[in-house]
Structure 1
Amino acid sequence: MKLCIFGAGAIGAYLGACLTAGGRDEVVLVARGTRCAAMRGDGVRIQRAGRAAQAVAVACTDSPRSLPTQDVVFLTTKAHDAPSAAHEVAALLGPETTVVTAMNGVPWWYFADLTGPHRGATLRSVDPGGILKDAILASRVVGAVVWTAATMVEPGVVQVREAMRLALGEPSGADTERLRHIRAALEATGVEVVTTRDIRAEVWLKLWGNLAFNPVSVLTRATLSGIARDPGGRAAVRAMMVEAEAVAHALGVRFPVDVDQRISMAEGIGPHPTSSLQDLDAGKAVELAALSGAVLEMAALVGVATPTLALVHGLAQLRVRDIVPQANVGAITSR
């Protein structure tokens, strides 16, 4: 298969290196600037504690429109970059191309096939103007949730603290041939993959931590374990997560763990900075809109009060705008 990793940051580069090293498929990464130049010249260099660095030669381009039609496109951009990439992604799609969305936060297709009164709703926090909805049909999408702890410490160099695990699922919940093919391609590289009939629940399980830890880390500059082990930090994220759980319940989602177990999952990763803190420290836009911002928008949709989440999100917005004035952090409010 022809596989494209669109957005080769830490997660995309790590995934692309794994798929390339597997040698089974034709893989190309899409990146920009110094990242693309570094990966073209030196490949993706993966660093793991206690192990020698691994360099994987990869195909990388900064001109996606020069690529042929792909069989599968893994969309691994930051959530706030996805709308601006939508038309370049669309140019890679043939009649049977699948788009695997592997980004943090609430995906734009969340309400596309959802039964109930909110079916077809568009979240402006993640898809302003419906750009993604129009460019990439929900029928093409396979949802993915990536569990790992990885940081791009310099262009093309990915530091990995936790091995990659992916959850894959059709938004419809169906067990399809394309889902099985994508799983097989990933498993052939040694990546741990599970498939689920409820990918939205898996999205929520990861989001549940991100929507709290990410904005709190922006305000405090604390790591995952640092927040979880501090009484004030833990109390803040716990209050936010309790409110978010009520939103999830209103949308029919139930979590397989309780709030304290989910906090412990984040704590167990150790002194790892959240992706939002990494971006803030690098002077980049921060994806709060797709995390806490999207949940606030969903809360308003279902009529659930989220005062703590709204307060912390608003303060995190203020801090990001002070440091990165051009950042899009999502001006979403709730009761």
Structure 2
Amino acid sequence: MRYGVVGVGGVGGFYGGMLAKGGFETVFVTKQRYLSVFKDKGLTVESYKHGKFTVKESGKVVFTDSYDVLKDCDVVLLCVKSYDTESVVQELSKVNGDFAVVSVQNGIENEEIIGRYLGDDRVIGATAFIGSYLKEPGVIVHEAAGLLEIGEIDGKISDRIKHIAADMEKAGIDVRISKDINYTLWKKLLWNVAFNPYSVVTGVTVGQMLEFEYTRSILKNLMLECKKVAAAYGISLKDSTIEGYLKSSSDLREYKTSMLLDFERGKPIEIEGITGALIRKAKRKGMKIPYNECVYGTVKFFDLQRKI
């Protein structure tokens, strides 16, 4: 299979880099202002698990700022931030190709957006449980975890899912096929809706939030509210998952969330795609989620203040 990667940041850079390193044809679509860096120096991944490696443009690896180059791809990994999903998918809809799109993104609304423009049959869901970030254009740091769960929206174990998973496993990616990707997406949201926005409020690492009794309690209540909203949509998240997240793994304890890193660097943050999405889902069911609404309002205020 030939793969495309749209969004060469911490997530797209790592998974795309692993595919390219594994010998698979890979097309990276990046922003025009960064293209010369990739053309000259390639893509470097500094991984705690796979070591440091660089993939450079060759017969099998292409760096471009043109979506049209994706037309011959079989699968495209969509790794942009959720606030860019609609605009990017609109561009993808103009490409004369029939590639499947794997949404490797935060949030629970991206798959709906992709399906609206490209058709539901071309959408594959995914969740990345990974700690990685863009150190500088062309350099990705992988510092924790790395599991990628993928699955068809209807839950079927299709031939294309098996083929994609086999390719990724061959490339050294820790991959798992999900029989219920909707559950998996909500399970990932459970972590995201607590740790990502609340880290912007506290300004500290995952471990520091967990070590203090009161911040740990707030994290738990943020997740309990998410669990209740998920239940209203027929998704039964487990208390044991929440307890597991509150313990966290050693490699994540010193991890700064992607939202905090983006906030500190003056970049747009995914508050709408994460907490905003949960609040919208709750409102449709007539539910109040005060912990999440409070954190959402605080983060939105912080975000507004830095723009003044």
Fold in common (TM above 0.5): yes
Do structure 1's residue 234 and structure 2's residue 236 form an aligned pair? Answer: no
Do structure 1's residue 279 and structure 2's residue 262 form an aligned pair? Answer: yes
2:74 alignment partner, SS class: strand
CA contact (8 A) 2:109 2:277 kept: no
**Equivalent-residue separation in structure 2 for 1:324 and 1:171 (angstroms):** 38
**Equivalent-residue separation in structure 2 for 1:138 and 1:51 (angstroms):** 35
2:121 alignment partner, SS class: helix
Do structure 1's residue 178 and structure 2's residue 181 form an aligned pair? Answer: no
1:60 to 60, 63, 80: 63
2:229 alignment partner, SS class: helix
Matched residue, 2:88: 85
Listed as ranges, the matches of 1:160-179 within 5 Å are: 160-179=142-161
Matched residue, 1:113: none
RMSD: 2.0
State the Cα deviation string for residues 254-290 of structure 1 (Å, max 9, x = none). 2343422222236751211111111111211101111
Residues 94, 245 of structure 1: CA spacing in aligned structure 2 closer, same or farther, 3 A cutoff? Answer: same
CA contact (8 A) 1:225 1:266 kept: no
Listed as ranges, the matches of 1:210-229 within 5 Å are: 210-229=192-211
State the Cα deviation string for residues 68-112 of structure 1 (Å, max 9, x = none). 3321111110010111111222233524x21111101113335xx
Please state how far the C-alpha of 1:51 moved relative to its aligned partner: 7.7
2:303 to 311, 316, 320: 320
2:170 to 177, 183, 188: 188
1:283 alignment partner, SS class: coil
Counterpart residue identity of residue 80, structure 2: T
Please state how far the C-alpha of 1:37 moved relative to its aligned partner: 2.5
**Equivalent-residue separation in structure 2 for 1:60 and 1:165 (angstroms):** 25
Please state how far the C-alpha of 1:201 moved relative to its aligned partner: 1.1
State the Cα deviation string for residues 200-254 of structure 1 (Å, max 9, x = none). 1111111111111111111121111111112222121111111111011111112
Matched residue, 1:299: 282
* Structure holding more helix per residue: 2
Give structure 2 stretches of 5+ with no counterpart: none
Matched residue, 1:28: 27
Listed as ranges, the matches of 1:86-105 within 5 Å are: 86-92=89-95, 94-95=97-98, 97-105=99-107
**Equivalent-residue separation in structure 1 for 2:70 and 2:2 (angstroms):** 10
**Equivalent-residue separation in structure 2 for 1:242 and 1:168 (angstroms):** 25
Residues 42, 163 of structure 1: CA spacing in aligned structure 2 closer, same or farther, 3 A cutoff? Answer: farther
Counterpart residue identity of residue 91, structure 2: E
Please state how far the C-alpha of 1:150 moved relative to its aligned partner: 0.5
2:73 to 64, 70, 83: 70
Listed as ranges, the matches of 1:260-279 within 5 Å are: 260-265=243-248, 269-279=252-262
2:122 to 126, 140, 145: 140
Q: How many residues align?
A: 303
Give structure 1 stretches of 5+ with no counterpart: 111-126, 326-335
1:38 alignment partner, SS class: helix
Matched residue, 1:159: 141
Please state how far the C-alpha of 1:161 moved relative to its aligned partner: 1.1
Matched residue, 1:108: 110
2:97 alignment partner, SS class: strand
State the Cα deviation string for residues 280-306 of structure 1 (Å, max 9, x = none). 112111011111110011111122220
Matched residue, 1:332: none
Please state how far the C-alpha of 1:47 moved relative to its aligned partner: 1.6
